[in-house]
Structure formats: C-alpha cells, structure tokens
Amino acid sequence: MRFGKPTIVTLAAGLLMLTFSAQIFAEDKPNAETNNPEAPPPTSSSDAGMSTISPEQLLKVPVSGLTPGAVDARPKLNLPPIDEKAAQRGMENFASFNCVGCHMGNGGGGMGPALSNHAFIYGSSPENIFLSIYQGRPNGMPAWGTVLPEDAIWDLVAYIKNLSNAPVSQWGSTVSSTSPAIEQVPVEIKAGANPWQYTQKFSKGQKPQE
C-alpha cells in the first residue's frame, strides 16, 4: 500500500487531535466527579483549594434520619475533593492533631469510637463528619473548628472515608467463634492511607501472622 504525502499529513493531524481530545477528557474527569474546578496542588491542602463551602451551608445537612413531613431536605453541596491525595494529607493530620490518640491507629477506636466501620453516631456523609469534627460532639469529641483550617478538616474527612471502607459481607454483622473472618494488617507492620487494602486471617487475640 502506498501513501501519498497529503495522506500522511492528514493521518498525523487526526492522530494528534485524537490524543489531544483524549487528554482533555482525562483531565475533565476528576473535576467532574469532585465538582471542583480548581483542584488544589498535590502537596498542599491550603492553597488554591480553599474550600468554597461555609459551615453555615453545612448546617443545612440533617444529622437525623427523620424529617417532619418526610421531605428529603438534604441540600446538594459542592464539596472539596475527597480523593486519595486529600486522604494522604488527612492521614498526616490524623497523627499531627492527635486524632490517633483517641480513635487509634487505622481508626480502630479507643477513647473515641471506631472509624473503621460504617457506623457513625452523628451521620456518615462527608458533611456530617466535617461538622462532627468542626463542632465537636458532647460525649468527648473536642470542637476543632476554631483551631484547624477548614481544608485540614476536609482532608481528615477524606482519610476517614478511607478508614471506614471496611469490606461488607452481609447487611448486619455477626459475631461468633468463627466470625469475623478477617482483620487488618496492623499499622506497625503496614501503614498507609487506605488500611482496608491489607487484610489477613482473624487472629483471635494471638500473635498475628507476619
């Protein structure tokens, strides 16, 4: 098969355009998901990505599952990005601001409740978790809103979303001599922003496998 010069030029141009548009697509996608046109730079939570959302708006997010008149009043808010980079920063904040002291490594719970399962007393939506950190909660959760920048709290929310991402095998939960079947690889062996990636056989209080 023989190509004339014009054919090759056209083909090349077409390829170029394809690549270009694919790139645009790729760049658009995360933004579309997080609804944030200006994602923060990778190493900082605090620069361009200053959250555009105010605690006042968040107050409109209900904590109760009961709404008089059965009207679903949950507002649609443009939240800051809750992604892996935010979770990574959130993991650092979790240690720096002593969250780990109460909720413990990988959020297993201690003085404060576990964050490693799907149960959240004051709501499990990102808005609920943000406000729990921001306002504190009466049974011992300190109010961090006056101390931490809001972006730092959003990063914590992203990390907590990762922590609570436990695998689910059924709707309820069974505890018995054979259940649960798995446990996390403990943090002193493997640390990371997504601890449920690493699991092993449930050790029943014995020395874990390595």
Residue 188 within binding range of another protein, rule CB under 8 A: yes
* Rounded alpha-carbon distances, angstroms, from residue 14 to 2, 35, 48, 74: 19, 31, 36, 46
Task: Kindly identify the residues of this chain, within the stretch 64-93, that bind another protein according to CB under 8 A.
Answer: none
Residue 58 within binding range of another protein, rule CB under 8 A: no
Report residue 195 as tokens: 């601890």
Q: Toward another protein, which CB reaches closer, 11 or 147?
A: 147
Question: Do strands 199-201 and 182-184 pair parallel, antiparallel, or not at all (unpaired)?
Answer: antiparallel
Q: Toward another protein, which CB reaches closer, 89 or 126?
A: 89
* Rounded alpha-carbon distances, angstroms, from residue 22 to 12, 17, 29, 89: 15, 8, 11, 29
User: Up-side HSE of residue 91: CA atoms within 13 Å toward CB?
Assistant: 15
Q: Look at residues 146, 149, 121 and name the one whose alpha carbon lies nearest to residue 135.
A: 146
Q: Toward another protein, which CB reaches closer, 44 or 52?
A: 44
Min dist CB 143 to another protein, Å, is 10
Q: Look at residues 150, 110, 146 and name the one whose alpha carbon lies nearest to residue 130.
A: 150
Angle (CA) 93 64 127, round 5°: 30
Q: Do 53 and 118 form a contact (C-beta atoms < 8 A)? A: no
Residue 187 within binding range of another protein, rule CB under 8 A: yes
By rule CB under 8 A, what count of residues binds another protein? 63
3-state secondary structure of 176: strand
Q: Toward another protein, which CB reaches closer, 124 or 199?
A: 199
Stretch 111-150: interaction string toward another protein, x if CB under 8 A? xxxx-xx-x-x----------------xxxxx---xxxxx
Residue 102 within binding range of another protein, rule CB under 8 A: yes
Q: Which residue type sits at 57?
A: Q
Q: Toward another protein, which CB reaches closer, 69 or 176?
A: 176
Residue 105 within binding range of another protein, rule CB under 8 A: yes
Q: Toward another protein, which CB reaches closer, 70 or 168?
A: 168
| First-last CA distance in the chain | 61
Residue 205 within binding range of another protein, rule CB under 8 A: yes
Min dist CB 80 to another protein, Å, is 13
Q: Kindly list the residues in this chain that would bind another protein in the complex (CB under 8 A).
A: 41, 43-47, 50, 95-98, 100-102, 104-114, 116-117, 119, 121, 138-142, 146-152, 166, 175-177, 179-180, 182-184, 186-189, 195, 199, 202-208
